[in-house]
C-alpha cells in the first residue's frame, strides 16, 4: 500500500517549501508530503488522490489565501477526506479571526507562523494529528446496529451508552422496514428489543452495558490483579488522576460505570476551561484525556460497577458488581455525582421517553423545530440551552430562583441573552409530566399560577448527589453524602476514629489511609472542570507521598 499523505497548502512559496521540508525531515519515512500553492490546486490534487484510493492523514492550510481561504478549503476537503485531521497556519495578527473561524470547520489545531524551532512548535502538533488519524484512518467505519422503539427508555440508554463511548452505531426504529429486516435476520422479534448487532454479526437481545462493551471491543477486564493505583470514576478528576498517575510510572487502572467524561462529557461546549479559548465540547475533551491516559499506559475499564472497598493489610481491595476484585496500594475516589431526580408526578415513568437527565445530545436531531424545556439555572443547564437552540424552534429555561446570576457564569448569561429563541422563566417549577408512551406536555407553576405546556422534550439539570452509599461506614461523609477529606476530618484537632497512623490525613485523603478523593464527590469541592482536573493531579502527588511512607 502507498504511504498516507501529509498535505500542506500555502500561497507563499517560501512558507510552503519550509513546512514541506520540516515535515519530510520528521515524517518522510512513513508519510508522503505533498504541497500546493492554492486551495484550488490542493482540491484538484485531493480528487486525484481519492480516485487512486490513497489516504490523507493530515492537511495544513494557510488561513489567509486569495480566492479561497483556509477555512473554505478545509470545508471542501472534508467532503473528500472526512477523517483527515486538519490544522490552520496563521500569522499572529490573524489569530483571533482564525479561532473564531474554527467553529465553521472542525479544525483540530492552529499553528502560528513561524514555528521555529519545529521540535517544539510544529512536531508535537503533527504528532497529535497523526495519532488521532491513526485511531480512525480512512477505512470505512464499521457500525454497530441498534434496533429499538423510538420512545423507549432501554433503547435510549443503549444509544446514550454507545454515543458517549464513541462507538460508531446506526439507529433503526422497529417501525422502519430496514429495522424489521434486521430483526428478521437476527432471529429476533419485538419482544427482544432493544437488539444490538455488532459489525461481526453478534446479536445481543436486551443487553446490559457490560455485554455491549465486551461485544464492541471496549476494555472491561483488568489485565492484572494488583496495581499501584486504582482510580474509580472517569470524569475530569479521574482522567486527570489517570494521566498523572500513569505518566509518573504508577501501574494505574481507571474504572468507570458508564462512559468516561462524567457529567462534563455530556456538555455541548465548555468555554471557560484553560487552553481552549474558543471552547471545547465535553466529548472532545474526554476523548483527548482518555487517549492521553492510555498513551502513558493507564488501563481504562468501561461498564464496571464498583460495589465495595475494603482494607486488607497494606492493600486496598475494590470489589465489582460481579464479585470479582482488584487490589492496589492506593485508591483515588473520583466517582463524581449524578443528577438529582425531579420530584414531580409522571417524571419517573417518562424518563428516557421524552424526559432526560443531562444534555442528551443523541436527542438533538429529534428536537428539530420543536419547543423544548430545560429545568435548572446552573452552567450545565445554560450550556444545554445554547446547544439545543441550534436545533429546536424554542428553548425555555425553567428556573426555580429569582434569576440566573446566582448560579450561572456571566459569559453564559450573556450568550443566552443574545439568542433569540432561548427564553428564561424564573420562579418556575415543574409539577407534573403528561403522556402515555412518551412525553406530551408538562404542567408548571410560576408564582403560584399553574400552566400546561405542550412539549416532547424535557431536560433536567437540578443539582447533583454523590453516589457513595456503597463505600460503607469506614469512609466518612458529610450530611449530604460527600466524602470528607484532610482537615475536614479533624474534630477539635482529633483524628478520625480508627485512624492509626502517626500523622494527620493528607489534604485529599479520606478517613481510610491510602484512599484519596478528587473532584465533585469530595465534600466542599469546587464544582468546575478545571478544579476537578487539578485535584486529580494533586491526589496523585499525595499518593506518591503516601507510598513513600509505607
Model pLDDT for residues 210-269, shown as the tens digit of each residue: 999 999 889 999 999 999 999 999 999 999 999 999 999 999 999 999 889 887 777 777
Q: Which residue from 477, 478, 481 is spatially nearest to 464, judged by alpha carbons?
A: 481
Q: What is the model's pLDDT at position 100?
A: 62
- Higher per-residue confidence, 347 vs 280: 347
Q: Which residue from 351, 350, 357 is spatially nearest to 374, judged by alpha carbons?
A: 357
Strand partners of residue 195: 147, 205
Say yes or no: 307 and 276 in one domain. yes
Task: Tell me the pLDDT band of 104, cut-offs 50, 70 and 90.
Answer: low
Model pLDDT for residues 141-183, shown as the tens digit of each residue: 567 899 999 888 899 899 889 888 888 888 899 888 888 888 8
Q: What is the DSSP string of 118-138?
A: HHHHTHHHHHHHHHHHHHHTT
Confirm whether 365 is domain-assigned: yes
In our burial notation (b when 16+ CB lie closer than 10 A, e otherwise), range 38-68 reads bbeebbebbeebeeeebbbbbbbbbbbbeeb
Say yes or no: 239 and 322 in one domain. yes
Confirm whether 23 is domain-assigned: yes
Confirm whether 529 is domain-assigned: yes
Say yes or no: 453 and 389 in one domain. yes
Model pLDDT for residues 23-57, shown as the tens digit of each residue: 999 999 999 999 999 989 999 998 888 877 788 99
Say yes or no: 39 and 83 in one domain. yes
Model pLDDT for residues 248-260, shown as the tens digit of each residue: 999 999 999 988 9
Domain's final residue, options 427, 442, 462? 462
Domain that holds residue 41: 5-136
Q: What is the model's pLDDT at position 541?
A: 97
Mean pLDDT of 404-430: 94
Task: Tell me the pLDDT band of 398, cut-offs 50, 70 and 90.
Answer: very high
Note whether 296 and 243 are within 8 A (CB). yes
- Cα–chain-centroid distance for residue 234? 10
Domain's final residue, options 462, 489, 509? 462
CATH code (residue 276): 3.50.50.60
60 has a pLDDT exceeding 70:
yes
Say yes or no: 270 and 360 in one domain. no
Rounded-to-integer distance, Cα 461 and Cα 438, Å: 20
Confirm whether 40 is domain-assigned: yes
Q: What is the model's pLDDT at position 93?
A: 60
Say yes or no: 334 and 483 in one domain. yes
429 has a pLDDT exceeding 60:
yes
Name which of 91-100, 166-175, 417-426 the model is least confident about. Answer: 91-100
CA distances from 67 to 43, 113, 204, 365, 550 (A): 13, 21, 53, 35, 67
- Higher per-residue confidence, 432 vs 63: 432
Say yes or no: 291 and 398 in one domain. no
Task: Tell me the pLDDT band of 492, cut-offs 50, 70 and 90.
Answer: confident
374 has a pLDDT exceeding 70:
yes
Say yes or no: 205 and 158 in one domain. yes
Say yes or no: 232 and 206 in one domain. no
Note whether 506 and 516 are within 8 A (CB). yes
Helix, strand, or coil here: 283?
Answer: helix
Strand partners of residue 423: 396
Task: Tell me the pLDDT band of 533, cut-offs 50, 70 and 90.
Answer: very high
Rounded-to-integer distance, Cα 298 and Cα 301, Å: 10
Task: Tell me the pLDDT band of 103, cut-offs 50, 70 and 90.
Answer: low
Model pLDDT for residues 296-349, shown as the tens digit of each residue: 999 999 999 999 999 999 999 999 999 999 999 999 999 998 888 899 999 999
Domain's final residue, options 94, 113, 136? 136
Q: What is the dihedral of CA 488, 491, 497, 502, to 10 degrees?
A: 80
Note whether 149 and 193 are within 8 A (CB). yes
Say yes or no: 436 and 321 in one domain. no
Instruction: Specify the DSSP element, H or E, that contains 294.
Output: helix 282-295
Confirm whether 221 is domain-assigned: no
Say yes or no: 470 and 455 in one domain. no
- Higher per-residue confidence, 125 vs 115: 125
How many domains does one find in the chain?
4
Q: What is the model's pLDDT at position 30?
A: 93
Task: Tell me the pLDDT band of 99, cut-offs 50, 70 and 90.
Answer: low
CATH code (residue 26): 3.40.50.2300
- Higher per-residue confidence, 189 vs 441: 441
Confirm whether 61 is domain-assigned: yes
Per cent of the chain over pLDDT 90 is: 57
Say yes or no: 9 and 129 in one domain. yes
Amino acid at each position: 500500500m502507498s504511504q498516507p499523505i501529509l498535505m500542506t497548502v500555502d500561497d507563499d512559496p517560501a512558507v510552503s517549501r519550509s513546512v514541506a521540508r520540516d515535515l519530510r525531515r520528521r515524517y518522510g519515512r512513513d508519510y508522503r508530503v505533498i504541497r500546493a500553492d492554492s486551495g484550488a490546486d490542493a482540491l484538484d490534487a485531493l480528487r486525484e488522490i481519492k480516485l487512486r484510493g490513497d489516504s490523507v492523514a493530515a492537511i495544513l492550510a494557510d488561513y489567509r489565501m486569495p480566492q479561497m481561504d483556509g477555512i473554505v478549503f478545509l470545508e471542501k476537503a472534508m467532503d473528500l477526506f472526512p477523517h483527515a485531521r486538519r490544522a490552520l497556519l496563521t500569522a499572529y495578527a490573524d489569530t483571533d479571526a482564525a479561532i473564531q473561524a474554527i467553529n465553521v470547520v472542525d479544525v483540530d489545531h492552529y499553528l502560528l507562523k513561524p514555528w521555529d524551532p519545529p521540535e517544539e512548535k510544529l512536531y508535537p502538533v503533527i504528532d497529535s494529528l497523526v495519532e488521532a488519524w491513526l485511531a480512525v484512518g480512512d477505512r470505512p467505519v464499521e457500525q454497530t446496529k441498534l434496533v429499538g422503539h423510538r420512545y423507549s427508555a432501554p433503547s435510549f440508554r443503549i444509544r446514550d451508552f454507545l454515543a458517549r463511548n464513541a462507538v460508531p452505531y446506526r439507529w433503526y426504529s422497529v417501525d422502519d422496514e430496514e429495522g424489521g429486516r434486521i430483526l428478521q435476520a437476527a432471529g429476533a422479534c419485538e419482544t427482544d428489543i432493544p437488539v444490538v448487532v455488532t459489525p461481526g454479526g453478534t446479536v445481543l437481545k436486551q443487553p446490559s452495558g457490560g455485554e455491549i462493551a465486551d461485544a464492541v471491543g471496549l476494555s472491561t477486564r483488568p489485565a492484572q490483579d494488583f496495581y499501584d493505583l486504582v482510580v474509580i470514576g472517569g470524569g475530569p478528576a479521574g482522567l486527570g488522576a489517570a494521566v498523572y498517575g500513569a505518566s509518573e510510572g504508577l501501574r494505574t487502572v481507571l474504572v468507570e460505570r458508564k462512559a468516561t467524561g462524567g457529567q462534563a462529557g455530556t456538555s455541548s461546549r465548555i468555554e471557560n476551561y484553560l487552553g481552549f479559548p474558543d471552547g471545547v465540547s465535553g466529548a472532545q475533551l474526554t476523548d483527548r484525556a482518555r487517549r492521553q491516559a492510555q498513551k502513558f499506559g493507564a488501563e481504562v475499564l468501561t461498564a464496571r460497577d464498583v460495589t465495595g472497598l475494603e482494607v486488607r493489610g497494606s492493600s486496598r481491595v475494590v470489589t465489582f458488581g460481579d464479585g470479582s476484585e482488584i487490589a492496589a496500594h492506593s485508591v483515588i475516589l473520583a466517582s463524581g455525582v449524578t443528577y438529582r431526580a425531579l420530584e414531580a408526578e409522571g417524571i419517573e415513568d417518562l424518563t428516557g421517553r421524552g424526559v432526560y437527565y443531562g444534555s442528551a445530545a443523541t436527542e438533538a436531531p429529534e428536537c428539530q423545530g420543536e419547543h423544548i424545556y430545560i429545568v435548572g439555572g446552573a452552567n450545565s443547564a445554560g450550556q444545554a440551552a445554547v446547544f439545543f437552540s441550534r436545533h429546536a424552534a424554542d428553548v425555555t429555561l425553567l428556573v426555580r430562583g429569582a434569576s440566573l446570576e446566582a448560579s450561572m457564569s456571566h459569559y453564559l448569561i450573556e450568550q443566552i441573552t443574545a439568542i433569540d429563541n432561548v427564553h428564561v422563566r424564573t420562579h418556575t417549577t415543574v409539577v407534573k409530566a403528561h403522556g402515555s408512551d412518551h412525553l406530551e406536555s408538562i404542567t408548571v407553576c410560576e408564582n403560584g399560577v399553574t400552566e400546561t405546556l405542550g412539549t416532547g422534550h424535557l431536560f433536567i439539570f437540578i443539582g447533583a448527589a454523590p453516589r457513595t452509599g456503597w463505600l460503607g461506614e469506614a469512609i466518612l461523609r458529610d450530611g449530604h453524602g460527600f466524602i470528607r477529606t484532610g482537615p475536614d476530618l479533624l474534630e477539635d484537632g482529633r483524628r478520625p476514629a480508627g485512624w492509626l497512623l502517626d500523622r494527620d490525613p493528607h489534604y485529599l485523603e479520606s478517613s481510610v489511609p491510602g484512599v484519596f478523593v478528587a473532584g465533585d464527590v469530595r465534600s466542599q469541592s469546587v464544582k468546575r472542570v478545571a478544579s476537578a482536573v487539578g485535584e486529580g493531579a494533586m491526589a496523585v502527588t499525595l499518593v506518591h507521598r503516601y507510598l513513600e511512607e509505607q
